[in-house]
Amino acid sequence: MQVINSTPRPDAPRAETLKGLVLVIEDERAISDLLRMYLSREGFGVHVASDGVTGLSFARTLHPVAIILDVGLPGIDGTEVCRQLRAEGDWTPILFCTARDDEVDRVLGLELGADDYITKPFSPREVVARVKSVVRRSMRAAASEGPITMGKVELDPVTRRVTADSVPVALTATEFDLLAHLMANPSRVFSREQLLSEVWGYAAVVGTRTVDVHVAQVRSKLADCDVIRTVRGVGYAAEPPR
Ligand code: CA
């Protein structure tokens, strides 16, 4: 699968579980480039939209783990993007970027359901810290620290070891992250687009076959102990065998 505009590479080694895809909706190229650089460095995948309409459509299709949303955008502005997503029941964490203090007042006054806001000029480090904080708050289950057991599979997020029927299973970093994400959210069905965003930090702009390939690999390694269920037309879930 070819991936546009996204980082990092699928099997790049990493110290901790990937942090997912962040959608940056910002029309100033210098700012979006800076955010991309800082967020990538922290292990986030980054996808950029430079106007409100494109941003809204990416938010709907790419299932980012967080959105950095500029208020002043061409076409529909940031407040309207936020309003539409919330109206659709989409509660992806949103961090507003405002150019002036009166914009902050406007954003707060509209009660748009934003998770945080930051005023320009901002330090990219500060933005990264805020993004981490909203993502951490929203992904409570995935942050589960102790070993997870499901059927005959045991997975330890700290040592990154997996056993099936007490036999160690050798998984690649990506296979481990995928299985850990599914097992940390038992029975929750994830679409392929969600898994690409949340596990790989990728935007599913071209295709999602990479998810199927990795699921198949994990399954073949777990063999008789497999806990991944295919939900036809939707995606995948982990649940104990019945
Ligand atoms: Ca702007």
Residue 65 alpha carbon to ligand 1 centre in Å: 22
* Final residue belonging to a domain, choices 118, 141, 164: 141
Residue 167 alpha carbon to ligand 1 centre in Å: 54
Residue 94 alpha carbon to ligand 1 centre in Å: 16
Residue 130's domain spans which residues? Answer: 21-141
- 173 CB-near residues (< 8 Å, 6+ apart): 11, 12, 13, 14
Instruction: Say how far apart CA 222 and CA 234 lie, in whole Å.
Output: 22
Rounding to the nearest 10 degrees, give the CA dihedral for residues 208, 212, 217, 218: 100
pLDDT tens for each residue of 117-127: 888 888 888 89
- 202 in the same domain as 131: no
Quick check: is 12 in a domain? no
pLDDT tens for each residue of 148-207: 999 999 999 888 899 999 999 999 888 898 999 999 889 999 999 999 888 888 887 767
- 133 in the same domain as 57: yes
Residue that is written with structure tokens 């505009």 in the block? 5
Residue 77 alpha carbon to ligand 1 centre in Å: 9
What is the CATH number for 121?
3.40.50.2300
Residue 70 alpha carbon to ligand 1 centre in Å: 6
| Polymer length in residues for the chain | 242
Residue 39 alpha carbon to ligand 1 centre in Å: 19
Task: Copy the structure tokens of residue 71.
Answer: 């208020």
Which of 137, 179, 172, 139 minimizes the C-alpha distance to 156? 179
User: Between the CA of residue 120 and those of 28, 31, 94, 126, 127, what are the distances in Å?
Assistant: 12, 10, 16, 11, 10
- 208 in the same domain as 192: yes
Ion ligand 1, residues whose Cβ is below 5 A away: 27, 70, 72
- Count of domains for the chain: 2
Residue 76 alpha carbon to ligand 1 centre in Å: 11
- For 160, list phi and psi in degrees, rounded to 5: 60, 35
pLDDT band, residue 143 (cuts 50/70/90):
low
pTM of the model: 0.70
Radius of gyration of the chain (CA): 19
- 135 in the same domain as 36: yes
Quick check: is 15 in a domain? no
* Final residue belonging to a domain, choices 125, 141, 157: 141
